[in-house]
């Protein structure tokens, strides 16, 4: 799951320049072996300036400082403090955290879980999870709401995705052929049955979230489709995207006419070169596809036109995904010159049942989104592995286009959906990937052309080591940025891009309202509600910068277009301080059966262990609060 929120938008200036994180977060960045970030001076914050802006009069004058924020401790009872002190102390012991999966496995094999389970539940589970069932989760939500923190309900159950099996098998091998011809149908049936059950679980998540206004439910849609189908469709899309990028790199034109479309794109597709698309039907089929992409009928298509058209929801383009095999090395190729000398990893190609499974995925997502819309609960797609992400994005964009659509798109009416539509569905972008910034900008452009409200959550990413190790093992270019500085540039650029568009929409609305009383919204609305940005960060300096950006860009927190999020049990001081500043602050509130959340709990312990300074600081603060309470008794 995309739960590793330890990424930053740090700053060396109080206004808009974004840089590296503070020292407490740097330990978590050491997987970037190519570059060691230099020590950066702590930014001089100017959060108090927020109160000087007329749109932010409710924000108190206060320097945002983690060490000065004790609200999260004041609201905790003594048993909570003792539990938290124990948990965070454990997190400061890397050897113990490293051993924890083995200890849990040993306890299970030795049938000692009758002892270990209650210990884990009373400590790590109660710190990082909201509960096992609806009443327990809603009790946690009410506790957070009482201090101004909203909730993102997160069903914390891992999908069983055996990536090695997907990558190791080859359609030319006997075992793979048997799997495709005999076992595949049975396995596919079981996986689709599990997907239907998972949708019901997420519907329950929406029901839980609906108990509070402005709530979210996080969803991980890898469980909505058989993983093999998702894998093949995603890799096929990556290959098509590679051809598309090469086509526009080979010409100086920003658009292609029909002739260039055929020569530079259509004829280069694996579906055509492998013979899946017949040369005899070349003109008729290519013209049909081109005309489908050319929605404004000007005889030209640009890259975004083609990307919109290539969504698998459009049956007319599905033949373009077909091939006997998928060249993974080509799918991840980085530039048009054929410089990749590494051996390709070949997989079986896309088949008709993969399209059927995608249709079932959309159907499941549609039922979930309809339920969420009826209960006024927003949905947040989680980002996942690069070899699944294209299908996730297509599902997300298809859902956003339907459920975030503008009923009225008038740019001269302040009450129109163009200004007032709140995105029901948001997608997540892992900015440590090389493609993330480009996809973010392209998806925003799609929303503009198709008239729907855009919403994005920007994260650093959760699968860096796994992605790099797989790319080395199977011989393709890593999708992850080579250096930490490139990831910072990607993340910071994404934040600035979204803030600029939030500001732009508000300025558009201000201009309409300034033209006279006849343009006033009937509900006296003066604030645009889209696009929406979620900044999921645990870094104090990062948040200071964004708060100042909101002030300098005249973005009111009441608009709910910019929000912050942290994980339950992590950086609570930051969350409470943001609530105190009347910012839009959320906590991810994971829940589920205790034993099924164990992988999640281990990751939380590992993350806290990777930022020892922060964990040690939390232990020190908690111990001091305990000591103060004991002293007050005498």
User: What does the DSSP assignment read for 87-116?
Assistant: HHHHHT-HHHHHHHHHHHHHHHHTT-HHHH
Q: Is pLDDT of 92 > 70?
A: yes
CB-neighbour burial class of residue 407 (10 A; exposed 0-12, middle 13-18, buried 19+):
exposed
256 secondary structure, DSSP code: E
Token pair belonging to 33: 């072996």
Return the higher-pLDDT residue of 447 and 527. Answer: 447
Indicate the angle between helix axes 484-513 and 540-552, nearest 10 degrees: 30
pLDDT tens digits, one per residue of 184-205: 889 999 999 999 999 999 999 9
Write out 507-576 in H/E/C secondary structure: HHHHHHHCCCHHHCCCCCCCCCCCCEEEEECCCHHHHHHHHHHHHHCCCCHHHCCEEEEEECCCCHHHHH
Residue carrying the six token digits 């299908």: 391
Return the higher-pLDDT residue of 551 and 161. Answer: 551
Q: Please tell me the distance from the alpha carbon of residue 271 to that of residue 37, in angstroms, as a whole number.
A: 44
315 secondary structure, DSSP code: G
Every domain of the chain and the residues it spans = 23-162+190-224+363-568+579-632
The H or E element spanning position 309 is helix 303-309
Q: Is pLDDT of 13 > 60?
A: no
Q: Please tell me the distance from the alpha carbon of residue 479 to that of residue 238, in angstroms, as a whole number.
A: 11
Q: Is pLDDT of 32 > 60?
A: no
Mean pLDDT, rounded, for 131-145: 95
Name the band, by pLDDT with cuts 50, 70 and 90, for residue 307: very high
- For the chain, what is the mean pLDDT? 82
390 secondary structure, DSSP code: H
- The alpha carbon torsion through 549, 550, 553, 554 (nearest 10 deg) reads -160
Q: Are 476 and 530 in contact (CB under 8 A)?
A: no
pLDDT at 163: 62
Tally DSSP H helices, then E strands, for the chain. 26, 12
Sequence-distant (6+) residues with CB within 8 A of 48 are 61, 62, 63
Q: Please tell me the distance from the alpha carbon of residue 561 to that of residue 502, in angstroms, as a whole number.
A: 7
Q: Are 235 and 331 in contact (CB under 8 A)?
A: yes
> Looking at 127-141, 199-213, 462-476, 618-632, which range is the least confident one?
618-632
Return the higher-pLDDT residue of 352 and 6. Answer: 352
Q: Are 400 and 455 in contact (CB under 8 A)?
A: yes
CA angle 470, 473, 475 (to 5 degrees): 100
pLDDT at 348: 75
pLDDT at 10: 32
Q: Please tell me the distance from the alpha carbon of residue 221 to that of residue 58, in angstroms, as a whole number.
A: 39
pLDDT at 56: 37
**How much helix, strand and coil, in percent to the nearest 5, is found in the chain?**
55, 10, 35
Sequence-distant (6+) residues with CB within 8 A of 146 are none
Return the higher-pLDDT residue of 200 and 601. Answer: 200
Side-chain-facing half-sphere of 444: CA atoms under 13 Å: 23
- The CATH code of the domain at 23-162+190-224+363-568+579-632 is 3.20.20.220
pLDDT tens digits, one per residue of 449-502: 999 999 999 998 878 888 998 888 888 899 999 998 898 889 889 999 999 999
Q: Are 333 and 243 in contact (CB under 8 A)?
A: no
Q: Is pLDDT of 532 > 80?
A: yes
pLDDT at 297: 97
The radius of gyration of the chain from alpha carbons, rounded to an integer in Å, stands at 25
Mean pLDDT, rounded, for 74-91: 82
Give the count of beta carbons closer than 10 Å to the beta carbon of residue 441: 16
């Amino acid at each position: 799951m995309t739960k590793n929120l330890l990424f930053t938008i740090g700053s060396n200036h109080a206004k808009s320049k974004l840089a590296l994180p503070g020292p407490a977060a740097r330990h978590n960045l050491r997987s970037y072996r190519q570059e060691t970030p230099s020590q950066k001076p702590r930014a001089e914050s100017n959060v108090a300036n927020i109160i000087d802006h007329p749109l932010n009069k409710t924000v108190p004058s206060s320097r945002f400082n983690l060490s000065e924020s004790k609200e999260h401790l004041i609201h905790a009872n003594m048993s909570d403090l003792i539990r938290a002190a124990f948990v965070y102390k454990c997190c400061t012991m890397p050897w113990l955290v490293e051993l924890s999966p083995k200890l849990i496995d040993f306890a299970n094999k030795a049938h000692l879980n009758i002892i270990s389970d209650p210990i884990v539940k009373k400590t790590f589970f109660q710190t990082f999870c909201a509960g096992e069932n609806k009443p327990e989760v809603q009790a946690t939500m009410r506790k957070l709401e009482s201090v101004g923190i909203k909730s993102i309900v997160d069903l914390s159950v891992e999908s069983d995705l055996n990536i090695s099996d997907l990558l190791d098998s080859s359609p030319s091998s006997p075992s793979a052929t048997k799997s495709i011809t005999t076992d595949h149908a049975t396995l596919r049936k079981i996986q689709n049955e599990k997907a239907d059950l998972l949708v019901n679980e997420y519907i329950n998540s929406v029901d839980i979230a609906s108990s509070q206004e402005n709530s979210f439910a996080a969803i991980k849609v890898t469980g909505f489709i058989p993983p093999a189908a998702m894998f093949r469709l995603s890799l096929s899309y990556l290959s098509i995207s590679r051809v598309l990028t090469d086509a526009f790199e080979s010409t100086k034109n920003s658009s292609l006419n029909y002739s260039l479309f055929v020569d530079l794109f259509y004829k280069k597709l694996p579906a055509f070169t492998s013979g899946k698309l017949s040369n005899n039907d070349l003109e008729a089929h290519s013209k049909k596809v081109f005309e489908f992409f050319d929605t404004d009928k000007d005889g030209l298509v640009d890259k975004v036109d083609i990307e919109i058209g290539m969504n698998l929801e459009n049956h007319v383009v599905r033949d373009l995904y077909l091939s006997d095999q998928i060249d993974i090395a080509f799918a991840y190729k980085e530039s048009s010159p054929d410089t990749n000398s590494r051996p390709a990893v070949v997989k079986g190609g896309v088949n008709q049942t993969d399209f059927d499974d995608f249709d079932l995925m959309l159907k499941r997502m549609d039922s979930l989104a309809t339920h969420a819309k009826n209960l006024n609960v927003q949905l947040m797609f989680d980002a996942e592995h690069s070899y699944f992400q294209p299908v996730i994005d297509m599902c997300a964009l298809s859902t956003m286009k339907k459920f975030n659509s503008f009923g009225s798109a008038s740019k001269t009416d302040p009450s129109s959906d163009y200004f007032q539509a709140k995105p029901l569905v948001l997608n997540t972008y892992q900015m440590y990937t090389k493609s993330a910034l480009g996809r973010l900008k392209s998806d925003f452009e799609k929303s503009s052309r198709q008239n729907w409200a855009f919403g994005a959550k920007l994260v650093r990413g959760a699968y860096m080591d796994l992605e790099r190790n797989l790319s080395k093992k199977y011989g393709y270019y890593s999708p992850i940025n080579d250096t930490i500085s490139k990831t910072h540039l990607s993340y910071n650029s994404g934040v600035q891009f979204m803030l600029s568009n939030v500001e732009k929409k508000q300025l558009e609305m201000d201009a309409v309202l300034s033209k006279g009383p006849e343009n006033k919204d009937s509900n006296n609305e003066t604030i645009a509600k889209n696009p929406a940005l979620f900044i999921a960060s645990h870094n104090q300096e990062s948040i200071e910068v964004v708060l100042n950006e909101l002030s300098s860009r005249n973005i009111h927190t009441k608009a709910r277009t910019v929000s912050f999020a942290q994980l339950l049990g992590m950086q609570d001081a930051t969350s409470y301080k943001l609530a105190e500043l009347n910012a839009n602050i959320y906590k991810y509130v994971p829940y589920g059966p205790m034993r099924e959340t164990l992988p999640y709990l281990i990751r939380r312990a590992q993350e806290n262990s990777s930022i020892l300074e922060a964990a040690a600081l939390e232990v020190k603060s908690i111990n001091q609060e305990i000591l103060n309470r004991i002293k007050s008794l005498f």
